């Protein structure tokens, strides 16, 4: 009898565990964001091995599917169509073959993707071709077709696994008009993210009755207003708009994993994997059911998983080996020759061959009086010798177009005052820093996070001779001595100024906050715009020249030099310790 009772107890325990286990459902939610064309474990710009990549991410995805079966949701949060020659080639060179980004996302079986600002920057034709070729829906609830007043992309997607309904709402930062020319997004408008979330949450709840609502926001968490747009309201939405269980962020390339409490006292998980597929957002959602199968409790937690633990997936690499070979051949195409090496490292401390080459090319292409340009890549070098297509992506990182705008001499001066206030500290002694850091840095700090402002807003000028007095406050730093040819510089005269379309549309606020031109008046100042991206024209210019001799124009300087010379040496070691 004791044996029978013991056996009965054991069976009951096993059945109890089985019943208890069957009352629990686990869903995995994985997110990539800001991949920027980093599909392979190889950087086609530097021609070096690359960290992260979709090839490694796919290994983690396969592992999750082996463990959790179909209970895996894979999402992308935008900015996948710009950054590497891989996507540029299929965006603009080979427009007949199905887009490699679409084919890869289909192969990896993404459940949904979101639109990013750099996806819009490729132009509607590219964006819509990519989205049309994807098996997944591409989301964008606040991207409105002005002809219909309805969303131009799918507002939300519902994924259901084991009776658990997960609703996914996609939103994009609305600041597109502050960065991009209308020709790239003509026929669209970008509504405020919070207002759009407040509109769609009740609709989703009523229509779908989901168990979980996920916000996929291509926007950062730090609240800021750019011109009239709230660029990064993700955290504010998580806290202010009830209904979200998870908010997945992107855009600002900053890792985050935390929980916040919204206005109704509910907990919201907020995560951001940063960029390039180096880290994967990995969320575990566990649901407990009652005897009737109804969900009575849920637990959601997440971690940021480093893809360095994964080798590039062999199936992925084999599938897309032909694409990798095509891109390698494309980036190895010769363009011309540089007689000396150039680096952006010098550009923070005075004139540099790197930025001054951009100035010379912009002036040569347009015939403008003055050129504005910044080091778009924080730390880039192009060696002397043969120049190939890959070097052109190093020389000019983004697909900006080239503008010529009409600015008065005073507006030119005020523009530069704004630029150098983002860049240089007001020194009070020779021992001060020359550069404007977030805080007092220490040797060996990660330099990109040390600078207070992004280097792509550190514009200098060519075509004029000027000094920047680091002892003076903003508004008094810049003194323009003359035009580069020695002619008088007149604050009241109108000059033709060459600059990129990001800047010309208000990016960095150097024209609006600095020069004082209202954002809605910027287009009136544009007198010339290229049809294609500036890199295309730079490439053509170098091809025609054949051999290019990069040189410092030496048309501006920091003063007093007895202060700035030593400060530059100290700050260089902080920015570039290796």
Q: For 214-306, where are the alpha helices, taking DSSP H only?
A: 234-240
Please state the pTM of the whole predicted model. Answer: 0.90
- Three-class SS of residue 429? coil
SS3 182: helix
Average pLDDT taken over every residue of the chain: 93
Tell me the average pLDDT across 543-568.
97
2 pLDDT exceeds 60? Answer: no
Rounded to 10°, the helix 54-68/100-108 angle is 20
Over pLDDT 90: what percentage of the chain?
89
Q: Distance between CA atoms of 310 and 312, rounded to whole angstroms?
A: 6
Q: Please check the confidence at residue 19 and state whether its pLDDT lies above 50.
A: no
Structural domains for the chain: 23-327 (3.60.21.10), 334-575 (3.90.780.10)
> Above pLDDT 70, what percent of the chain?
94
Question: Residue range 485-493: average pLDDT?
Answer: 98
Instruction: Give the pLDDT of residue 100.
Output: 98
**Local confidence band at 291 (pLDDT 50, 70, 90 cut-offs):** confident
**564 HSE (CA, 13 A, CB side):** 18
Contact between residue 259 and residue 268 where contact means Cβ atoms under 8 Å apart: yes
DSSP state of 341: -
Q: Is 530 helix (H, G, I), strand (E, B) or coil?
A: coil
Span 462-485, pLDDT tens digits = 999 999 999 999 999 999 999 999
16 pLDDT above the threshold of 60: no
At residue 1, does pLDDT exceed 50?
A: no
Tens digits of residue pLDDT in 77-122 = 999 999 999 999 999 999 999 999 999 999 999 999 999 999 999 9
Q: How confident is the model at residue 439 (pLDDT cuts 50, 70, 90)?
A: low
More confident residue, 193 or 222: 193
Say if residue 8's pLDDT is above 80. Answer: no
Whether 151 has a pLDDT exceeding 90, the answer reads yes
What span, in angstroms and rounded, lies between the C-alpha atoms of 480 and 458?
Answer: 17
- The Cα-based distances of 17 to 7, 24, 312 in angstroms read 15, 11, 38
pLDDT, residue 23, reads: 86
**Pairwise CA distance, residues 95 & 2, whole Å:** 77
Between 223 and 140, the higher pLDDT residue: 140
- Please state the rounded mean pLDDT for residues 70-78: 98
pLDDT for 12 beyond 60: no
pLDDT at site 22: 52
pLDDT at 444 over 50: no
CA dihedral 360, 362, 364, 370 (to 10 degrees): -80
d(CA 58, CA 311): 10
In the structure encoding, which two tokens stand for residue 297, read together?
Answer: 């409790």
The predicted model gives 28-45 an average pLDDT of 97
Q: Report the first-to-last Cα separation within the chain, whole angstroms.
A: 77
């Amino acid at each position: 009898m004791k044996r029978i009772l013991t056996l009965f107890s054991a069976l009951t325990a096993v059945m109890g565990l089985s019943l208890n286990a069957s009352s629990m459902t686990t869903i995995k939610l994985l997110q990539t964001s800001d991949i920027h064309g980093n599909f392979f474990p190889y950087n086609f710009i530097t021609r070096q091995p690359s960290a992260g990549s979709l090839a490694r991410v796919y290994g983690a995805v396969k592992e999750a599917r082996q463990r959790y079966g179909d209970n895996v949701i894979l999402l992308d949060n935008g900015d996948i169509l710009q950054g590497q020659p891989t996507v540029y080639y299929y965006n603009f060179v080979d427009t007949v073959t199905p887009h490699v980004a679409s084919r890869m996302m289909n192969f990896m079986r993404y459940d949904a993707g979101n639109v990013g600002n750099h996806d819009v920057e490729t132009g509607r034709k590219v964006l819509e071709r990519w989205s049309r070729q994807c098996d997944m829906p591409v989301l964008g609830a606040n991207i409105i077709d002005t002809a219909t007043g309805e969303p131009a992309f799918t507002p939300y997607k519902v994924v259901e696994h084991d009776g658990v309904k997960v609703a996914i709402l996609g939103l994009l930062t609305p600041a597109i008009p502050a960065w991009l020319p209308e020709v790239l997004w003509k026929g669209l408008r970008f509504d405020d993210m919070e207002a759009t979330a407040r509109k769609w949450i009740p609709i989703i709840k009523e229509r779908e009755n989901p168990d979980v609502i996920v916000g996929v926001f291509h926007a950062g968490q730090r609240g800021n207003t750019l011109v009239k747009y709230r660029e990064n309201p993700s955290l504010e939405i998580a806290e202010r708009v009830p209904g979200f269980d998870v908010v997945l962020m992107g855009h600002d390339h900053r890792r985050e994993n935390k929980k916040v409490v919204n206005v109704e006292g509910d907990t919201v998980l907020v995560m951001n994997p940063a960029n390039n597929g180096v880290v994967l957002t990995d969320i575990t959602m566990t649901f407990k059911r009652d005897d009737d199968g109804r969900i009575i409790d849920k637990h959601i937690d997440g971690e940021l998983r480093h893809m360095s633990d994964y080798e590039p997936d062999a199936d992925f690499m084999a599938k897309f080996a032909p694409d990798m070979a095509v891109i390698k051949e494309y980036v190895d195409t010769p363009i011309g020759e540089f007689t000396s090496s150039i680096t952006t490292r010098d550009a923070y401390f005075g004139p540099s061959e790197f930025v001054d080459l951009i100035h010379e090319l912009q002036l040569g292409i347009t015939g403008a009086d003055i050129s504005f340009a910044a080091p778009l890549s924080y730390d880039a070098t192009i060696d002397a010798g043969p120049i190939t297509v890959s070097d052109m992506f190093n020389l000019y990182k983004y697909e900006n177009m080239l503008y010529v705008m009409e600015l008065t001499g005073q507006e030119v001066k005020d523009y530069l005052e704004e630029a150098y206030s983002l860049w240089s500290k007001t020194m009070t002694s020779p021992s001060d820093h020359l550069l404007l850091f977030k805080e007092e840095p220490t040797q060996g700090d990660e330099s990109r996070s040390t600078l207070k402002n992004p280097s792509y807003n550190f514009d200098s000028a060519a075509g004029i001779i000027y000094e920047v007095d680091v002892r003076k406050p903003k508004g008094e730093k810049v003194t323009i001595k003359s035009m580069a040819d020695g002619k008088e510089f007149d604050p009241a005269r109108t000059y033709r100024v060459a600059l990129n379309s990001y800047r010309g549309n208000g990016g960095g606020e150097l024209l609006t906050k600095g020069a004082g031109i209202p954002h809605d008046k910027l287009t009136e100042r544009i007198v010339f715009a290229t049809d294609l991206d500036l890199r295309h024209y730079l490439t053509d210019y170098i091809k025609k020249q054949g051999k290019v001799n990069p040189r410092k124009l030496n048309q501006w300087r920091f003063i007093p030099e007895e202060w700035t010379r030593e400060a530059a040496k100290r700050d260089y070691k902080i920015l570039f310790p290796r």
